[in-house]
């Protein structure tokens, strides 16, 4: 069973390496904050009401950062990124070759 604590433990290395990411408990679950360098304002804050939502938020962040040391090896990363395959030079706009 997934718990918030399991998710935070799994992504602990990512949180330690990224000084602009922070996860805080709140009354409705956990909030993932992204800070803008040394600014006093955050870029965004996303409420995660379930452990699954928090996991998905972290997974998106890790993929966007192209992995994070050993955490990338523990997660099953797809071999082909769908958003990159759409922009490949061989893409024909869905009309075939």
What DSSP string describes 56-89?
A: HHHHHHHHHTT--THHHHHS---SS-HHHHTTST
| d(C-alpha 20, C-alpha 16), whole Å | 10
Per-residue pLDDT, 83: 41
Report helix, strand or coil for 52: helix
pLDDT band at 77 (very low <50, low <70, confident <90, very high): very low
With a cut of 50, say whether residue 90 has pLDDT above it.
no
Mean pLDDT (the chain, rounded)? 76
With a cut of 70, say whether residue 49 has pLDDT above it.
yes
**pLDDT tens digit sequence for 8-47:** 999 999 899 888 899 999 999 999 999 988 888 899 999 9
């Amino acid at each position: 069973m997934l718990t918030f604590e399991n998710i935070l433990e799994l992504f602990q290395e990512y949180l330690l390496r990224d000084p602009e990411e922070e996860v805080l408990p709140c009354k409705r679950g956990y909030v993932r904050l992204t800070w803008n360098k040394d600014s006093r304002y955050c870029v965004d804050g996303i409420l995660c009401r379930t452990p699954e939502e928090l996991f998905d938020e972290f997974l998106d962040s890790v993929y966007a950062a192209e992995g994070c040391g050993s955490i990338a090896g523990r997660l099953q990363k797809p071999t082909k990124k769908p958003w990159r395959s759409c922009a490949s030079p061989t893409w024909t706009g869905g009309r075939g070759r």
